[in-house]
A and B are shown apart, each in its own frame.
Chain A
Amino acid sequence: MNYTNGKYVFDIQNLNCYYGSFRAVKDTDLSIESKKITAFIGPSGCGKSTVLRTFNRMNDLIPSARVTGEVLFHGQNLYDPDVDPVEVRRRIGMVFQKPNPFPKSIYENVAWGARINGFKGNMDELVEQSLRQAALWDEVKDKLDQSGLGLSGGQQQRLCIARTIAPRPEVILMDEPCSALDPIATLKIEDLMRQLVKNYTIIIVTHNMQQAARVSDYTAYFLMDRDDRAGLLIEYGVTNEIFTKPKDQRTEDYITGRFG
């Protein structure tokens, strides 16, 4: 792999994730291309969310979680002892499964992340820009001082996206961002992702195969190993190929709906 031309943002090498003594993900190698959408699909418990959370070290928040192997971000191993996870998370933002705006005003929701990261510029401008990028500005511009919790589920999730892009990260991780939303709100988020990918690298975990097929450029299929119940990367490639001519029989079984 060549990191210098900036084509690849992440390069995972021989990744193993443990919760206590249980191995949740084993021997995974994976590269994530810059300014593309990469989707992680697979049945529940296959470790796709766990892998996603290694990209911004959110696994650190679980006391028993442990990681071996390397997660290289532009060639820098994120799990080096001298890497500060707080700094990592500024560069690699995250959107969660359930919309989780802060119980503060819409404005404050967006501004807070910028402020704690030492933003010195024009805050009003940044908030507007971020909300515009998240396709939410027109809906909330008249009620910026109202609680973020007063918005609908889809709007809340877009507010969370605006909040995530306010510190201007390089990568946005999305952990099943639409699983709590209705189809129309889901579609809006998907459109938004296609817009955002012009400026950001996006990695999305989804249970929804159609969603992966619709929005992603690359797809990685994970599956739980039957013997030790550890998650395993089965196949990774251009989305079109994964969905039309998968190389692995297990991938084909999953995407054709024979199981999962």
Chain B
Amino acid sequence: MSVKPDSSVASYPEDDGLQSFVKRRHRQGLTWRIVFQAATIVAILALLALLYNIIIGSFGYVALQNKIEPESLHVDGMPLEELSKEQLVIILSEHISKGLMRRLEHDQPFTERTRQDVYNLVIERVVEQRVVKSWSLTVSFFKRDEIETFMAGLPQGKLEFRSWLHWNFLITPQSSTPELAGIRTAIFGTLWVIFITVAVAFPLGVGAAIYLEEYAAHVGNPWLRRLNAIIQTNINNLAGVPSIIYGMLGLVIFVRVMEPLTSGAFLGAVEDATTANGRTILSAGLTLAILILPLIIINAQEAIRAVPNSLRQAGMGLGATKWQTIWHHVLPNAIPGILTGNILAMSRAIGETAPLVVIGASTFITVDPNGPFSKFTTLPIQIYQWTARPQDEFRNIAAAAIIVLLVLLLTLNASAVLLRNRYGKKSL
């Protein structure tokens, strides 16, 4: 059956028909554009809601009440701030139990303590200022009458605007009282763990990516090719395995099986061999390293694959060996992409909580971690722990800790981006 050319021309819309047809297609395009814009807006709103939630929790009014008013502690009309160290020690001994006094003496003799230190102890132990209630930022601004009503029922109480995120919060170790708790140990823990994670995962991941892209892809043996294809598929799948599974893996392999290694016992680095176990920074770092290894490998592979083949040919064509070509041309051109992948992977590792819970991060640590064999806690663990507490104030400091975590994340990312840009420029 042959179709006449004329009849097929007539099958296309013409004149008015063509106009309205074109208009309809434009309308369709516009509809989709609006849908995509809406998607973007929803995503941004969700992000803003998250930020709002964190920020209103970190700032706001608090109602404070002292157990003993500082005015009642004045000696000869002199306020607390002007008293000498000895006078403060006497006040302390009058108001707290003998047992506590002995413990404080044991921690550090009072003769060696500074005046400021003793003053802090008086405030903490004697005056014992307590947060009776805390309000979020929104309530603080828009529902003042609610706060006033509450304060009216609390004659001794003091109203104060508080930022839960403050310098002392960053530099004090943990405490069971929310007002005194800080995240110093958690920050150090996070930095240590991430350092070990990246130090292990980066070289391993990039090495594996180079092998898979530059060597495995070129083997002639069909059996080896098949094996490499299986390995590749598995790496891709591993990137999607839930992180808690990696936690189980880390628990079994690093915490239990490799305990002599991860506890530091083999180096004699443990102070007390009887309590040493594998729940250390090293175990956590290695677990997270395995967790992000597939991500780093896949990203590095993509970066290496993006290096034009013509560069490899040019290098080999000049009589370079395969390794010379990889080292001088492939890697310098792939390094910006490799670093980007590494940044993404690192961000993921910083935020991981589940695997660390499984391998047993300590939640209450008052001593800075001092090496890979220390017990540790990290920021996400700390936040998770605090949000689970019943008191409102813990939720406030959790919100403050989230801000710190975000800032830490952005700082690390920014420095990695700077590093990447510098490398990128070097290879022109």
Q: Measuring CB to CB, which residues of chain A are less than 8 angstroms from any residue of chain B?
A: 56, 58, 61, 63-64, 86-87, 89-90, 93-94, 96, 98, 100-105, 112-113, 116-117, 147, 149, 160, 163-164, 167
B317, B328, B428: the one contacting A56 at CB < 8 Å is: B317
A64, A103, A105, A163: the one contacting B318 at CB < 8 Å is: A163
Contact B317 A96 (CB under 8 A): yes
Are A86 and B314 CB-contacts (below 8 A) given A63-B219, A103-B428? no
A64 to B329 Cα, complex, angstroms: 24
Nearest to A169 among chain B residues (CB) is B319
Q: Measuring CB to CB, which residues of chain B are less than 8 angstroms from any residue of chain A?
A: 217-220, 308, 310-321, 324, 328-329, 333, 427-428
Q: Which residues of A have CB within 8 Å of B314?
A: 96, 100-102, 160, 163
Q: Which residues of A have CB within 8 Å of B328?
A: 112, 116
A61, A105, A149, A167: the one contacting B316 at CB < 8 Å is: A61
Contact A100 B217 (CB under 8 A): no
A113 to B316 Cα, complex, angstroms: 10
CB distance from B228 to the nearest CB of A (A): 11
Contact B319 A100 (CB under 8 A): no
CB distance from B421 to the nearest CB of A (A): 16
CB distance from A176 to the nearest CB of B (A): 13
A104 to B319 Cα, complex, angstroms: 18
Q: Which residues of A have CB within 8 Å of B311?
A: 100, 102-103
CB distance from B327 to the nearest CB of A (A): 10
A102 to B311 Cα, complex, angstroms: 7
Nearest to B307 among chain A residues (CB) is A103
Nearest to B225 among chain A residues (CB) is A63
Contact B320 A116 (CB under 8 A): yes
Residue of A101, A102, A112, A117 ringed by the most chain B CB atoms within 10 A:
A102
Contact B317 A94 (CB under 8 A): yes
CB distance from A151 to the nearest CB of B (A): 13
Q: Which residues of A have CB within 8 Å of B315?
A: 102
A-B contact pairs, 16 of them (CB 8 A): A61-B312, A61-B313, A61-B316, A63-B219, A89-B316, A90-B318, A93-B317, A93-B318, A94-B313, A98-B310, A102-B315, A103-B311, A113-B318, A116-B319, A117-B319, A147-B428
A167 to B324 Cα, complex, angstroms: 16
Contact B313 A86 (CB under 8 A): no
A61 to B310 Cα, complex, angstroms: 12
A145 to B311 Cα, complex, angstroms: 19
A63 to B214 Cα, complex, angstroms: 12
A64 to B218 Cα, complex, angstroms: 9
Nearest to B318 among chain A residues (CB) is A113
Q: Which residues of A have CB within 8 Å of B320?
A: 86, 113, 116
A98 to B311 Cα, complex, angstroms: 11
Q: Which residues of A have CB within 8 Å of B316?
A: 58, 61, 89
A98 to B314 Cα, complex, angstroms: 11
A102 to B427 Cα, complex, angstroms: 10
| 10 nearest A-B pairs in the assembled complex, by CB-CB distance | A90-B319, A113-B318, A100-B310, A94-B317, A89-B319, A147-B428, A103-B428, A100-B314, A63-B218, A116-B320
A113 to B315 Cα, complex, angstroms: 8
B308, B312, B321, B333: the one contacting A86 at CB < 8 Å is: B321
Q: Which residues of B have CB within 8 Å of A96?
A: 310, 313-314, 317
Q: Which residues of B have CB within 8 Å of A163?
A: 314, 318
Contact A104 B317 (CB under 8 A): no
A100 to B318 Cα, complex, angstroms: 12
A104 to B318 Cα, complex, angstroms: 15
Nearest to B308 among chain A residues (CB) is A100
Are A100 and B219 CB-contacts (below 8 A) given A86-B319, A147-B428, A163-B318? no
Besides A117-B319, A163-B318, 7 other CB < 8 A contacts?
A63-B219, A100-B311, A102-B329, A103-B311, A103-B427, A105-B428, A116-B324
